[in-house]
Structure formats: C-alpha cells, structure tokens
Structure 1
Amino acid sequence: MLAEPYNRLSPKSVEIWRIMGVISGLFLFVVFAGVITLTVIFHWHLLFSIISFLIITIYFVLFVGILPKMKWKRWRYEIREDEIEIQQGVLVIKRTLVPMIRVQHVDTKQGPLLRKYHLATVSISTAATVHEIPALGLEEAEEIRTYISVKTKVAKEDV
C-alpha cells in the first residue's frame, strides 16, 4: 500500500470547521428550542425537552469540539508529476487518485470565512466529478492551481 500523502491543510481549517459547526448548530438549536417551547405550552412530557437538550449537546460536542480536529488530522493531499492524491474522512478514510490527464480545469474559491482567514479551496474538475482540497493558504492554493494547470497541459500534449 502506498504511504499516506504528506501535505496537510492549514491548521486554521479546524477553527473554520468549528465556526461552521456553530452556525449549523444554531439552526438545530432554533428547531429544538421550538420543541422545548411547545413542550411547556402544551404540557407535553418532559422527555421531549430532555431529548432535545441532549441532541443539541451531543451535536455541539461532536461538530464543534471533536470532529474538526479529527478531520484535520486525517485530511491529506499530495500532488505528484502525473497524479493528485487526496485522503479524507474520519471513521471511513477515503483515498482518491486523480490522474493529471483527466483534469479538465482547476479553480480556487473563497467564501466569507475562508477570506477572513486568508485561505482558499482548490477545486479540481474532471469529466466525472469535482475534487476539492479545502482550507489552504492563499499562496499555496495559487501555487497548486498553477502547478496543476501546467502539468495538465503537459500531460495532454504528451498524448
């Protein structure tokens, strides 16, 4: 078996994933706050409120506390002469090899959170799918985009 890729995402990605966990958790909180309110208004069984509170607590512990760090430890990538290897996952680790010859185009993108932390995501498009390397430093993302685009041209010229 090949050695695992050696490049990691920016350590700032952990903070970004935590912020995204809080944002999505707030929507969940609003829903369960409604359930708790209805429990009080209609004198439903207290179990509804307890279950709602437990679900919110478990969600925040997992998606804000534990999973972002685990996700960062597992997320790796490596860009070689003729292929791109991406490894991701927490419980189930997925490794993907993308041949340079299959790459159609490469993009970098930034949302508001990534922009605030001076990060970008590199999107690698093939005919079948889009592969992403998230939360890279801006300069690193630009270097990767340029390198892949040059290698893609060379790979297609050799065919």
Structure 2
Amino acid sequence: MNGEPRKRISERALSVWRIYGMIGWAVSFIAFATVIALLIIFDGPKWIIPILVILLLGEGYFFIFFIPTLRWRRWRYEVREQEIEIQKGLFVMKRTLIPMIRVQHVDSSQGPLLKKYKLASVTIFTAATVHEIPALDEGEAEELRYHISRLARVADEDV
C-alpha cells in the first residue's frame, strides 16, 4: 500500500473557500434578518430572536472558518505512472484511485475567484466519471494537466 497521497492543493484555496462561505452566509443573513423583522413587526415571541442570532453566528463560523480549514487539511492527491489518487472529505474520508488507462481527457478551469488568487482546477474525465483537483497554483495546474495527459497517452499505447 502506498499510504496517504502526499501532494496538497494551494493554501490560497482557503481564501477562496472562505469567500464562498461568506456568500452563502450572506444569503442566510438575509433570510434570518427577514424572519427577525417579521417577528418584531407581528409581535412574535421575542425569545426566538437571540436563538436565531446565535444560530446565524454559529453558521458563519462553521462555513467561513471551520469547513474551509478542515477541507484544505484533508484534500490530497498524487499522480503516479499507473494511477491518480485523490483523497477528500470533511467528516468521512473518500479515497479514489483513477487508473491512468481510463483517463480520456484532462481540462483545467479558472473562475473569477480562482483567477484573482492565481489558482486553477484540474478536471480528469473517464468514460464513467469526472474527478476534480481544485485550487492548484496556475502553473502547477497546467503542468499537472500536461503530465496526466502524457501518462494517459503512454498507458493507452501500452494496451
């Protein structure tokens, strides 16, 4: 057994995932603020308001700080001559082996947030599945895309 994959994604992924968490939290904030406003306007039970505020603050901490940090710590990958191994998960760890012979093509992508932080994701396509290695440094993502493509061609020629 090869053990745990050694390569990590960029630490700048934390910033991107925290921004995604803030966007989700902002949507929750609007929903919670609406409920609180309705409770005040319609003279609802006031004891619910502090509970909602505590829940909102807890959700903010969870999705802006806790989840991105845990996600980054757990995300690992490794590209070997015969396979690609991906490890991910928050509370349940999932390890995936992708045989190089099954790789059909490899893409890299970069949305606006990833571009701002000079990051890119690599997507690996097989006949049945799609796997993504998120938030790599731009140069590393391009290099990885070419490297996997070369290994997949060699594996295909060996068949």
Per the normalisation by structure 2, the TM-score is 0.96
Q: 2:70 aligns to what?
A: 70
Matches within 5 A, 1:3-152: 3-152=3-152
Give, in angstroms, the shift of residue 67 of structure 1: 1.7
Once the two structures are superposed, residues 6-37 of structure 1 have per-residue CA deviations (whole angstroms, 9 ceiling, x without a partner) of: 00010101111111100111011111110000
Q: 1:155 aligns to what?
A: 155
Aligned to 1:58, what secondary structure does the other structure show? helix
Q: Please say if residues 21 and 63 of structure 1, whose CA atoms lie closer than 8 Å, have aligned partners that are also in contact.
A: yes
Q: Which runs of 5+ in 2 are unaligned?
A: none
* Alpha-carbon distance in 1 for matches of 2:47, 2:102: 54
Give, in angstroms, the shift of residue 76 of structure 1: 0.4
* Alpha-carbon distance in 2 for matches of 1:87, 1:46: 46
Q: Which runs of 5+ in 1 are unaligned?
A: none
Aligned to 1:125, what secondary structure does the other structure show? strand
Give, in angstroms, the shift of residue 48 of structure 1: 3.1
Aligned to 2:2, what secondary structure does the other structure show? coil
RMSD: 1.1
Q: Which amino acid in 2 is paired with 1:61?
A: Y
What number of residue pairs does the alignment pair up?
Answer: 159
Aligned to 1:37, what secondary structure does the other structure show? helix
Of 96-105 and 44-53, more deviation after overlay is shown by: 44-53
Once the two structures are superposed, residues 77-100 of structure 1 have per-residue CA deviations (whole angstroms, 9 ceiling, x without a partner) of: 000001000001121111000011
* Alpha-carbon distance in 1 for matches of 2:3, 2:19: 32
- Percent identity of paired positions between Structure 1 and Structure 2: 52
Q: Which amino acid in 2 is paired with 1:123?
A: T
Q: Which amino acid in 2 is paired with 1:25?
A: W
